[in-house]
Structure 1
Amino acid sequence: MNRQWIYANRPVGPVSPDNFEYRESPVPEPGDGQALVRLCWLSFEPAMRTWMEDFITYMPPAPLGQPMIGPGVCQVVASDTPDLQVGDLVSGMMSWQDYHVVDGTARKVPPETPIPVMLGPLGGTGLTAYIGLLDIGRPQPGDTVLVSGAAGATGSVTAQIARIKGCRAVGIAGGADKCRWLLDEARLDEAIDYKNEDVDDRLAEACGDGVDVYFDNVGGDLLETVLGHMNQGGRIAACGAISTYNQGLRRPGPANMFQFIEKRLTLQGFVMFDHMERVPAAQEDLGRWVADGEIAFQTDIQSGFENIPSTFLRLFSGANQGKQLLKVRDPEPC
């Protein structure tokens, strides 16, 4: 049987386990030019909460009554395409079910690449960090780069790329443990604990000469606070707004929008999918930095198919430490 977690109903306010329903169905049959793959790992992104709304963002709304969509790694168990062999690992947009049918264009996991690395710094989160900071934020050596959600999967890679590029790297995260990791392991210049410190005061201390580039994963009130510390001509790369994802469709913007005029600021939203031509160069750089120890990363690994919905919810309570993953099973040896 094919175990599934169905997207049962749209959330009103915070997402909850009641939005999903467990079902079992027959294993699908692959057609010509297709392969049957079995789920091994799932990855969870805060942006998946926006896919649950009944409007189109950069992704169509997740369909009700179907398995919830999400990134993952699967193993080929039957194939009718020469492009995929039994035992191959493939990554990409999958769903919360044991079995999927893919075609020969499915992206293979490079040999010898650990799955947590593939789903973390070499996956969508690492690519988002690379493209958002370097192509949208355009930092220069000596710039002060501020990153919110800096202990998360995307934010931590972003802040470390800023350090690698010769910038002053400052991260905002929640809790003393996360901030200590940013300083000791990620080697940032400063870390601000928004849960236990006055962010406005700490920004004045940590970014005394102002902020040149702000990589925003949080939005909401924090964005409003940071605007007061931006330098003239500063750039803001708007990657996410996790503080507002559970507030419904109407999400108020900053009250101090005049800062954009006064300081000639640029705010640009971006989606990694619009920059796929940059993926090869990004993966080459990210792979080298990880291998050289220039990028540290954390993975929060849960396990068990039954725990898929509860693992997704960890993102919105801050329970995860780094990239949130779940292992359903280990790949079978070839």
Structure 2
Amino acid sequence: MAKAIVLARRPHGFPTAGDFERVDAHVPAVPPGGLLLETRHVSIDPAMRGWLDDRPSYLPPVGIGEPVRALGLARVVESRSDRIAQGAIVRGFVGWRDRFVVDDAAGWEIVPDDSTARLGVLGLTGLTAWVGMQQIAAPRAGETVVVSGVTGAVGSVAAQLARIAGARVIGVAGGEERARRITDELGLHGAVDYRADDWQEQLAELTPDGIDVDFENVGGPVFEAVIDRLNNHARIALCGLNSGYNADTRPAGPRNFGYLLTKRVTMRGFIAIDHFGEADACATELAPLLATGDLIGLETVETGFDRLDAVFIDSMRGGHLGKLVVTV
């Protein structure tokens, strides 16, 4: 037998404990080509909230009674695959399960170790930041870059990549202390505290020459304020709209949408799972930066399988820094 946490009902607004249920799951025999996996670490990501809603998206919604979908690392306890050996560490959609069988090993990626960095800078987090900042935003030395959600997993890496490229980087954070920490620890050029009454004035003061690149993770009023300050031919990498993930209806578009036309702005939305084929190239580029300390992988690690739902619920209100992982 194994443990799982399943979706009991679809959340309305912010998720609550009653939206999830703990169940015992039977572990079947491993079929030819399959694997028995034991979960080591589970990634907690804002995108998971959208997967719980029954509405069109890039992945089908989690079904009622199904384990909550989540990326993670697992150890191979038993293998009947020619490609993956017993004892290997693999990365994929482990879900909220502690032990489980997969019929086909094809969708699982072998990784060198089970460090939490394989879910952060050297995982989907790093790939998301790398694709959005390096390939889409492509900041140049001397340009001004704004990164919203800068204290989060993706935003903190994206901001550092822009700094490494020689850009002037301004982060948007929630709270004076978080804004100070992200500036001091990641070497950014300034940070806007969006919870302050004068956050708009802060943004204007920190971007006196306008904004050339916006790496957008949040949406909402801050996104509108950034659009107001975009320079002609600016670029927007549209990574996420976290401010609307707990709304029962999709948030309205920015009131100043027309500026994207008059300022000749390029905006591209992207989903990291479309770029899995570039994961090795990304890790090859980011690993040396991580090793030398030029790139810092901020992370918050919690412990305990039975805390998965509570950690996820808390994450919807922010408060943690960097990549959020639960070690099970």
Query: Fold match, TM over 0.5?
Result: yes
Matched, 1:8 2:29: no
Q: What's 1:332 paired with?
A: none
In structure 1, the partner of 2:226 is 226
State the partner residue of 1:127.
127
What does the per-residue CA deviation read over 1:41-92, in whole Å, with 9 as the maximum and x for residues that have no partner?
Answer: 1001101111111123111111111111101111111111132222211111
- Give 1:100 shift: 2.3
Q: Which moved more, 1:100-109 or 1:252-261?
A: 100-109
Superposition pairs of residues 17-166 of structure 1, within 5 angstroms: 17-102=17-102, 103-105=104-106, 106-111=108-113, 115-166=115-166
Give the deviation of 1:6 after TM superposition: 0.7
Distance 2:53 2:141 in 1: 40
The answer to whether the 8 Å contact 2:2/2:100 transfers is no
Measure how far apart 1:197 and its partner are: 5.0
| Structure 2 unpaired stretches of 5+ | none
- 1:28 Cα deviation after fit: 2.8
1:161 and 1:139 map into 2 onto residues whose CA distance is 9
State the distance in 1 between where 2:75 and 2:278 align: 26
The whole-number CA distance in structure 2 between the counterparts of 1:201 and 1:116 is 38
Distance 1:234 1:124 in 2: 26
Question: Which ranges in structure 1 are unaligned for 5 or more consecutive residues?
Answer: 329-334
How many residue pairs are counted as aligned between the two chains? Answer: 326
Q: Distance in 1 between matches of 2:237 and 2:227?
A: 13
RMSD between superposed Cα atoms in Å: 1.3
Deviation (angstroms), 1:240:
0.5
Determine whether 1:209 maps to 2:209: yes
Q: Residue in 2 aligned with 1:236?
A: 236
**1:95 is matched by which residue type in structure 2?**
G
TM-score (structure 1 length as normaliser): 0.94
Alignment of 1:164-313 (within 5 A): 164-196=164-196, 198-313=198-313
Is the partner of 2:246 in helix, strand or coil? Answer: helix
Show CA shifts across 1:21-52 (max 9, x none).
11112123221011100111100110111111
- The answer as to whether partners of 2:2 and 2:99 remain within 8 angstroms in 1 is yes
- Larger displacement relative to structure 2 (211-220 or 310-319): 310-319
Please state whether the residue corresponding to 2:23 is helix, strand or coil.
Answer: strand
Task: Determine if contact 1:82/1:104 at 8 Å carries over to the other structure.
Answer: no
- Classify the secondary structure of the residue corresponding to 2:70: strand
Secondary structure of the equivalent of 1:185? helix
Amino acid at match of 1:108: I
